[in-house]
Amino acid sequence: MSASAPASSSSAARFASNGSDPRPLLFGIDVTLSGQAVIRRLARELPDEAADLMEIAASIHAIDRLASRPPYRWRPEESMWTRSLWAEIPVREPDRWRQQAPRLVRLLHWLTDDDWDLEFCQLRLGTGVLDVQQGFLFETVPSGASPVLFSGGLDSAAGLAAQLVHEDAIAVSVHTNGWMWQVQRRVLAALNQASSRHCLPLRYRISVSSGTETSQRSRGFLFLAAGVATAWAVRQDQLRVFENGIGAINLPYLRSQHGSQASKSAHPATLAMVQELATAVSGRSFLIEAPAMMMTKAELVRLAPLATRKALELTVSCDAGFSARVPEHRPCGACTSCLLRCQSLNAAGLANLIPVDFPARRKDDWQFNVNAMCWQVTRLRACLESPEPWQRLICEFPELIDVTQLTKEEVVRLYRAYVKEWDTDEHAAWLAGLARRESRTVAL
């Protein structure tokens, strides 16, 4: 930790939205961040740059939740989605972060579409929420284990299951409520039971007291920051992220979606910007690996060994499935994440992992989202059947221009595989059967 703190040091961040007066952002009141489970398990404190990164990411996530966007009815233009956000965040090494502020602002603008103005001041000595006062006697980190980001979703579980065939892993997770951690814990326990290798779980807890903004486009930065910070804490400069390419690129289903209205949490450009930021902050080359970026969700799921199927069944892939307020914590069955999960399990030959009574509490949303996904596949198919598929793809989906980390041949192959999964007779029969089931379902 810093040896001394100047008189101008602070222990509280401040922020303002759209020209409002600055207000304090207080850890323990407005936002809670706990890394004690990580620190105790590692038996060491986080390096200064790691603790700073986590507290910056938690502060930005809280501001993103506390500063509401205008309601939809007040957004006559696309620009009305954007906010102007200013923040002053106390850190242990302010000079280091002032130098990297432009990179951080660029990343946040890409993720949230907002205009960020970030300032950094000296954190008052010993007041960081990730500071520790006690010493440690021993370490518990398996030698050679690789840090992996783990969410409790189907992709992260399937990728981790495949990794545990060959090597140990450190599963880094962030949870915002007890139910989310219960899901993550159960999936990891099932993976450990079914694997010959060992997976060490390391988790951070974060919650925002009264945030009303639901878009939460900074969540991707929060999760990646946890992975990077933990990698630094175990003296590694690499992180693995298991996200399939279709979900990571996340093309909009509707032409009315703009920019970050389609989430970019694991987009190839996001991973590249976080990797660049981590390298610049630490002064050492950092690598974020995305082994499944050129796979569909079904292709990734097929990599999981047969013995880990129970763990895959325990995962949650619903936009609202981790919410503590959802009755019985059941997936909604209507969002595009739920539908993509069903599509991928069916295409992977694992339809038996889809519950027979798969719920759809929002019947109208289910039909709307199915239609939107089918329309997207129709547009993709037309592009891929043309003599110049890449040119047609970027005309129909200009968002693909931002996927510079993959070659145009790789992108075309990825979407060919995805469309082919939708075009099988088995998948058509499954979709028709699901529609018949929904016609008999009474919305809860």
pLDDT, greater one: 44 or 443: 44
For residues 216 and 174, is the Cβ–Cβ distance under 8 A? no
pLDDT at 109: 96
| 389 located within any domain | yes
| 175 located within any domain | no
Distance of CA 286 to the CA centre of its chain: 19
- pLDDT class for 42, splitting at 50, 70, 90? confident
| 182 located within any domain | no
For residues 49 and 96, is the Cβ–Cβ distance under 8 A? yes
| 100 located within any domain | yes
pLDDT at 77: 55
Compute the C-alpha angle 331/364/178, nearest 5°: 20
pLDDT at 251: 94
Average pLDDT over residues 239-267: 88
pLDDT at 136: 55
Please say if the pLDDT value at position 444 is more than 60: no
pLDDT at 318: 86
How far apart CA 168 and CA 143 sit, in angstroms, is: 9
pLDDT at 194: 96
- pLDDT class for 441, splitting at 50, 70, 90? very low
| 290 located within any domain | no
Q: In the numeric block, which tokens belong to residue 44?
A: 């060491």
pLDDT, greater one: 161 or 368: 161
Please say if the pLDDT value at position 4 is more than 60: no
pLDDT at 5: 43
Q: pLDDT of 271-310, one tens digit each?
A: 999 999 999 999 999 999 999 999 999 999 999 999 999 9
Tell me the percentage of the chain whose pLDDT exceeds 90: 66
The mean pLDDT value of the chain amounts to: 87
- pLDDT class for 389, splitting at 50, 70, 90? very high
pLDDT at 325: 54
| 206 located within any domain | no
pLDDT at 212: 80
pLDDT at 432: 65
Work out how many domains the chain is built from and give that number: 2
- Least confident piece of the model among 28-42, 73-87, 172-186: 73-87
Average pLDDT over residues 235-248: 96
Which of 122, 152, 187 is a domain's end point? 122
| 73 located within any domain | no
- Least confident piece of the model among 175-179, 248-252, 312-316: 175-179
pLDDT at 74: 47
Please say if the pLDDT value at position 431 is more than 90: no
Q: At what angle are helices 363-384 and 389-396 packed, to 10 degrees?
A: 140
For residues 60 and 221, is the Cβ–Cβ distance under 8 A? yes
Residue range of the domain that includes 20: 13-68+82-122
Please say if the pLDDT value at position 203 is more than 60: yes
Please say if the pLDDT value at position 211 is more than 80: no
pLDDT at 360: 61
- pLDDT class for 442, splitting at 50, 70, 90? very low
| 245 located within any domain | no
Average pLDDT over residues 72-95: 79
Name every residue whose Cβ is closer than 8 Å to that of residue 26 and which is 6 or more positions away in sequence. Answer: 12
Strand order across the beta sheet in which 84-91 lies: 23-25, 13-17, 84-91, 115-122
Average pLDDT over residues 45-74: 88
